[in-house]
Amino acid sequence: MSSITAQSRITLHFELALDDGQIVDSNFEQVPATFNFGDGSLLPAFEEALLGLEKGSEASFVMPPEKAFGAHNESNLQRIPRAQFDMDLQEGMVVSFADVSKNELPGVIAEIGAEDVLVDFNHPLAGRTLTFKVQIISVEETA
């Protein structure tokens, strides 16, 4: 039986959960995901956790923020004049902005003031410890 290496094509079920057990993402009730190791489908630390697992393996890994989506960065909070928004705003809503290169950049409305709006451009899971649970369905070598 082959185990996962940096040359593997992996099919798996996965689940991401917060410290309190709230499930953020899961495909256990859906079609399993298939990807090639190193193709960018998973964060590097999540891929590294899979190394050595075999078909049929089930495992759970606690991923601190620095191995998941990074620390919450205060410099990613920006105040934007409220007049720049031509929509009804609600705290918690995600708004799409264009960065200087015209790339789409999502931001979460963190606070709505009379004059300005505080927008959080951190990844929604930044600063969170996550539990990454997997069930390996198949492992194939690609090279």
Q: What is the spatial distance between Cα 58 and Cα 36, in angstroms, rounded to a whole number?
A: 19
- Residues in a beta bridge with 104: 98
65 and 15 co-located in one domain: yes
48 within 8 A of 132, measured Cβ to Cβ: no
In the predicted model, residues of the chain with pLDDT beneath 70 are 1, 143
111 in a domain, yes or no?
yes
Structure tokens at 79: 């105040």
Q: Looking at residue 78, which CATH number applies to its domain? A: 2.40.10.330
71 C-beta neighbours (distance < 10 Å), count:
13
| Structural domain boundaries enclosing 80 | 74-120
Return the H-helix or E-strand segment holding 105: strand 104-112
Q: Looking at residue 61, which CATH number applies to its domain? A: 3.10.50.40
3 in a domain, yes or no?
no
Return the H-helix or E-strand segment holding 8: strand 8-18
134 and 88 co-located in one domain: no
* Residue matched to tokens 């789409």: 104
48 and 17 co-located in one domain: yes
CA dihedral 62, 64, 65, 68 (to 10 degrees): -40
* Amino acid 1: pLDDT: 64
Structure tokens at 128: 């969170």
130 within 8 A of 24, measured Cβ to Cβ: yes
12 and 65 co-located in one domain: yes
